[in-house]
């Protein structure tokens, strides 16, 4: 069972091979600069890779007795579109009963209309990548506003600068990555070398 969880190095190789992990000189919309960049859906475009990653993450939840004892009365929740393939894969591996994904409407993270208070099973929030943790925090608040509680949280990759605990639970991940982000170009080592810049949308 445990050998179905690939090592961090193995996961990084899969992310490199699929183009999801990229090295260069990237500028985020908020002005931050960073030499590495993750475009996680490129890993999830290959079904075999998507399945290995989702099953691996699901194993971490299954090993958690508090979670496994509540299955299948669990909902798997994605904070945004990037986490949807992760959520479906984890749901499938755990045979969890429900799945939800949030979207941003007018800057507010919401589920689709007509999801009522009391309908959402205890939640595992999953995402492809956790950078600042803001999307996860907003999803915890959303879930709690619907009268549910968070029993698990996880992602394929978690930046080491992101919180380790959210909604009272430790975040599980296959890779913890030190992203070496620069807040702006002023401090960026690659800018000092006048290297070409690539602007990324997320």
Question: Which residues in this chain contact Zn ion in the complex, by CB under 5 A?
Answer: 33, 185, 188, 190-191
Between the alpha carbon of residue 170 and those of residues 6, 27, 36, 142, 162, the distances in Å are: 20, 30, 25, 18, 12
Residue 84 or 188: the one with the smaller Cβ distance to Zn ion is 188
Q: Closest separation between CB of residue 189 and Zn ion, Å?
A: 7
To the nearest whole angstrom, how small is the minimum distance from the Cβ of residue 201 to Zn ion? 17
- Residue closer to Zn ion by CB (options 4, 187) is 187
Return the number of the residue (47 or 202) whose C-beta is nearest Zn ion.
Answer: 202
**Smallest separation, CB 39 to Zn ion (Å):** 18
CB of 168 to Zn ion, least distance (A): 37
> What distance in Å separates the CA atoms of residue 136 and residue 134, rounded to the nearest whole number?
5
**113/199 with CB nearer Zn ion:** 199
**Whose Cβ is closer to Zn ion: residue 43's or residue 188's?**
188
In the 3-class helix/strand/coil scheme, how is 48-113 assigned residue by residue? HHHHHHHHHHHHHHHCCHHHHCCCCCCEEEECCHHHHHHHHHHHHHHCCCEEEECEEECCEEECCC
Contact (CB, 8 A) for 175 and 8: yes
Of 175, 184, 189, which Cα lies nearest the Cα of 131?
175
Q: Which residue is nearest to Zn ion (CB)?
A: 188
Least distance (Å) from Zn ion to the CB of residue 121? 44
């Amino acid at each position: 069972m445990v050998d179905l969880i690939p090592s961090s190095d193995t996961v990084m190789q899969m992310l490199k091979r699929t183009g999801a992990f990229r090295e260069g000189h990237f500028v985020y919309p908020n002005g931050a600069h960073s030499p590495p960049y993750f475009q996680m859906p490129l890993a999830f475009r290959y079904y075999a890779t998507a399945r290995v990653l989702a099953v691996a993450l699901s194993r971490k939840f299954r090993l958690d007795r508090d979670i496994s004892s509540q299955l299948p009365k669990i909902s798997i929740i994605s904070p945004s579109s990037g986490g949807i393939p992760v959520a479906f894969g984890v749901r499938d591996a755990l045979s969890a009963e429900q799945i939800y994904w949030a979207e941003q409407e007018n800057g507010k993270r919401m589920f689709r209309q007509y999801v009522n208070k009391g309908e959402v099973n205890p939640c595992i929030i999953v995402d492809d990548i956790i950078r600042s943790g803001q999307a996860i925090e907003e999803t915890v608040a959303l879930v709690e506003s619907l009268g549910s509680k968070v029993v698990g949280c996880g992602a394929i990759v978690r930046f080491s600068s992101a919180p380790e605990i959210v909604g009272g639970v430790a975040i599980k991940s296959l890779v913890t990555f030190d992203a070496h982000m620069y807040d702006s170009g002023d401090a960026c080592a690659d800018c000092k070398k006048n290297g070409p810049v690539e602007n990324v949308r997320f």
